[in-house]
Amino acid sequence: MTKKSASRIGIVSDIHGNIVSFESVLRELERKNVSELVCLGDVVQGGPAPNQVLQKLRELSCPVVSGNADEEVLSANAPRTYPSEFHQKLHDVDEWSLSKLNSKDIDFVKSFQPVVEIPLGSSGRTMLSVHGSPRSNREGMFPITSEQDLAKMLAGVTASIVACGHTHSQMSRRYIQSKVIINPGSVGLPFDFDTIERFTQRDAYNPAYAEYAVVNYSSDGQFDVELSRCPVDLQELTNSYLTSGMPHAQLFSHDWRIVQ
Ligand SMILES: [Mn+2]
């Protein structure tokens, strides 16, 4: 058998201003010798360290896809009304996140791409990276999304792998024309559910781990996908919320818990 050269792409998504979890994942990716990295968006909003996450991402100089929450932070100063008190609290965090960014940070967020296509070596195969779907960063591709809906979302896509985020849930799903749709889950705000009732109501808690994916590919375009998670130090994470000055830090840090 001829030996083929192999490469590894690390995929991270939905960091949501959580530097403790992001650094945990970066240590794992370094250990796994990834040669490339791509970020699927939702970088700054929702967590205690928006500017530190941007700084780290800028140092890595990897391609970044623009998430809906990144756009929401950029437009946080626009006037609005709130459907609920909780929405107002979320917006308080958006405004605070924007206030933590300097002009260099804002220019960096504005440079995030709608989609990023990465060649799998010289095989002609590619991986298309998006936040939600190729046509929108506000719609998710789920395990239960119908094939008909996927056909609309993926119209015209020729990539062999479609990497998406937004749902905060890991997924590997086969689609027509031998495509694989993968979701690395969320680095900084993973969702899990206690019971099937809470799953139905989308009432999630945050398990104390960070999710990511690695795509291994060879020069002839063969590939496999690892969906991984690594533990996060819950004490360190809670402290990062409570010492950040982020509004409603107590509220937004209390859904985290260790899962056995
Ligand atoms: Mn998100």
Tokens 């945050």 sit on residue: 206
Residue 102 domain flag: yes
Those residues whose C-beta lies under 8 Å from the C-beta of residue 55, and which sit 6 or more positions away, are none
List beta partners, residue 57: none
Q: In a 3-state reduction of DSSP, which class is residue 7?
A: strand
- CATH code (residue 208): 3.60.21.10
| 69 alpha carbon – ligand 1 mean position (Å) | 6
Quick check: is 179 in a domain? yes
Return the pLDDT at 1.
52
Number of Cβ atoms within 10 Å of the Cβ of 197: 9
Give the structural domain span for 134.
6-257
Query: What distance in angstroms lies between residue 122's CA and the mean position of ligand 1's atoms?
Result: 32
Residue 164 class from Cβ within 10 Å (0-12 exposed, 13-18 middle, 19+ buried)?
buried
Spacing, Cα 148 to ligand 1 middle (Å): 24
Position 28 in a domain: yes
Number of domains forming the structure of the chain: 1
Q: How far is the CA of 177 from the centre of ligand 1 (A)?
A: 28
The Å distance, Cα 18 to ligand 1 centre, comes to 12
Task: Give bridge partners of residue 126 from the DSSP assignment.
Answer: 119
Q: How far is CA 167 from CA 25, 67, 190, 216, in A?
A: 19, 11, 9, 23
Distance of alpha carbon 105 from alpha carbon 52, whole angstroms: 10
Residue 67 CA to ligand 1 center (angstroms) comes to 7
- CA 221 to ligand 1 centroid distance, Å: 30
Going from the C-alpha of 161 to that of each of 44, 140, 213, the distances in angstroms are: 26, 16, 13
Residue 79, pLDDT score: 86
pTM attached to this predicted model: 0.95
Q: Which residues crowd ion ligand 1, with CB under 5 Å?
A: 14, 42
Q: How far is the CA of 68 from the centre of ligand 1 (A)?
A: 7
Question: Tokens in use for 52?
Answer: 């530190």
Question: What tokens appear for 257 in the block?
Answer: 């818990």
Q: What is the DSSP string of 181-241?
A: EEEE--SS---B-SSHHHHHTT--BEESEEEEEEEEEETTS-EEEEEEEEE--HHHHHHHH
* 40 domain residue, yes or no: yes
If you measure from the C-alpha of residue 136 to the centroid of ligand 1, how many angstroms do you get, rounded to a whole number?
13
Expressed in angstroms and rounded, the spacing between residue 194 Cα and the centre of ligand 1 is 20
Query: Which residues are registered as beta bridge partners of 209?
Result: 231
- Please give, one letter per residue, the 3-state secondary structure of 108-126: HHHCCECCEEEECCCCCCE
**Residue 212 corresponds to which tokens in the numbers above?**
């990511």
In this structure, is residue 178 part of a structural domain?
Answer: yes
Whether residue 1 is contained in a domain is answered as: no
10-residue stretch averages of pLDDT, the chain, 260 residues long: 74 98 98 96 97 97 97 93 93 96 97 97 94 98 96 97 97 95 98 92 93 95 96 96 97 91
**CA 127 to ligand 1 centroid distance, Å:** 20
Residue 4: the pLDDT is 60
CB atoms < 10 A from the CB of 110, how many? 11
What letter would DSSP give residue 165? -
Using the mean position of ligand 1's atoms as its centre, give its distance from the Cα of residue 142 in Å. Answer: 14
CA 220 to ligand 1 center in whole angstroms? 33
Task: Output the pLDDT for position 260.
Answer: 74
